[in-house]
Amino acid sequence: MRFSKLFLVCFLAWAAPAFSAIRIVTSTGDLADIAKSIGQNHVAVTRLTDGRQDLHQVEARPSMVSKVRQCELVVVIGMELDGWMDSIIRTAANPRVIHGKSGYLDASVDIKKIPSRVNPNAPGVGDIHRMGNPHYWLDPMNGIVIADEIRDRLVQIDPKNTADYNRNYEAFSQSIRSAMVGWRASIAEVKDLPVLSFHSSWDYFLHAFELRNAGTVEVYPGMGSLGVDLAALKSKINRGDYSVLIYEPAQAQINAQLFKHLEATRLKLTPLIPSVIDGSPANTYKNLIGHNVSALRSALDSAR
Ligand SMILES: [Zn+2]
């Protein structure tokens, strides 16, 4: 009996760090990486998607529900981008992470938002950006805003480690700000070349680096080739209105016919990575931004 008690005490002591870590579930890999940077060894972070998926269209799975059921903090992009998280949170019925509780963080709250290009009230158009453009994490300065929000929330949930959260936030913020100087310098020479995006995922990114945003191929956000006037688009391309087209690989697959036409033009087609993917050049938030800056710089160089 004495042995069993001793064993139990030892087991609990051994298991304590894992049990006391604050479990965070994020909708995206970017939020996960930032949360890990701020929480470090005080948190255990799980992301529900990666950058290969279209974040507008994610299917909720039972495994996602069980992760949310057991966590202390959920972080979402908000603005309806990851609206699929709502049903997961509802089904999980974890009272710590429902809307309005300290365990629910909508990271868009403190973001200066870029409005949608399309009138959300236009008849017959399902605008997936009706709350404004939700792709804000692609501006590195917004990465710092997200980090600040996560820091505040961790301090609220776990005040005893406030000093660590503050220190980690300062380190993250400093690291992004220093990298930003290099990123801006590396792309400054090509900033006058007009960049066309397939979807408006890149509005915040282009704005952050003062690049020329020449609009989108999509007429309606998320509707692919619907309403695209190919002849008019081709004549603008021939006129030199655009230098490169940036897009996400999934968009080329879904709109294969349209991309076939675009590949036959003088446009330099350039895939970028919209969200962190493990084991890729964009395996952290900072590497995601760095990879995209470098890929776009190369594309613009070759389009000059
Ligand atoms: Zn979008």
Number of independent structural domains in the chain: 2
**Residue 62: CATH number of its domain:** 3.40.50.1980
Residue 122: inside a domain: no
- pLDDT for position 184: 97
Residue 125 and residue 261: Cα distance in Å, rounded? 25
Closest Cα to residue 286, out of 296, 271, 276?
276
The CA 201 to ligand 1 mean position distance, Å, reads: 5
> Do 75 and 150 form a contact (C-beta atoms < 8 A)?
yes
Starting at the edge strand found earlier in the chain, the sheet holding 73-76 runs 43-47, 22-26, 73-76, 104-106
- pLDDT for position 14: 44
The CA 254 to ligand 1 mean position distance, Å, reads: 15
Tell me which residue has tokens 């704005």.
Answer: 207
Regarding whether 216 and 173 lie in a shared domain, the answer is no
Q: Does the pLDDT of residue 46 top 80, yes or no?
A: yes
The CA 275 to ligand 1 mean position distance, Å, reads: 12
Residue 131: inside a domain: no
- pLDDT for position 285: 98
Residue 283 and residue 180: Cα distance in Å, rounded? 18
The CA 60 to ligand 1 mean position distance, Å, reads: 18
**Six-digit token string for 122:** 């236009």
Regarding whether 210 and 167 lie in a shared domain, the answer is no
Residue 129: inside a domain: no
- pLDDT for position 121: 60
The CA 206 to ligand 1 mean position distance, Å, reads: 15
Regarding whether 76 and 143 lie in a shared domain, the answer is yes
**Six-digit token string for 1:** 């009996």
> Do 49 and 9 form a contact (C-beta atoms < 8 A)?
no
Regarding whether 41 and 169 lie in a shared domain, the answer is yes
The CA 56 to ligand 1 mean position distance, Å, reads: 7
Residue 183: inside a domain: no
Which one has a higher pLDDT value, 78 or 125? 78
Residue 10: inside a domain: no
Residue 5: inside a domain: no
Regarding whether 237 and 171 lie in a shared domain, the answer is no
Q: Give the pLDDT confidence of 82-137 residue by residue, as tens digits.
A: 999 999 999 999 999 999 999 999 999 999 999 887 765 665 566 788 899 999 99
Question: What is the value of pTM for the model shown?
Answer: 0.91
The CA 259 to ligand 1 mean position distance, Å, reads: 18
Which one has a higher pLDDT value, 127 or 254? 254
The CA 81 to ligand 1 mean position distance, Å, reads: 7
The CA 171 to ligand 1 mean position distance, Å, reads: 30
Q: Does the pLDDT of residue 17 top 50, yes or no?
A: no
Regarding whether 75 and 30 lie in a shared domain, the answer is yes
- pLDDT for position 16: 43
Regarding whether 74 and 45 lie in a shared domain, the answer is yes
The whole domain housing 213 covers 189-303
> Do 266 and 238 form a contact (C-beta atoms < 8 A)?
yes
The CA 179 to ligand 1 mean position distance, Å, reads: 26
Regarding whether 33 and 163 lie in a shared domain, the answer is yes
The domain boundary residue, chosen from 148, 178, 208: 178
Regarding whether 241 and 299 lie in a shared domain, the answer is yes
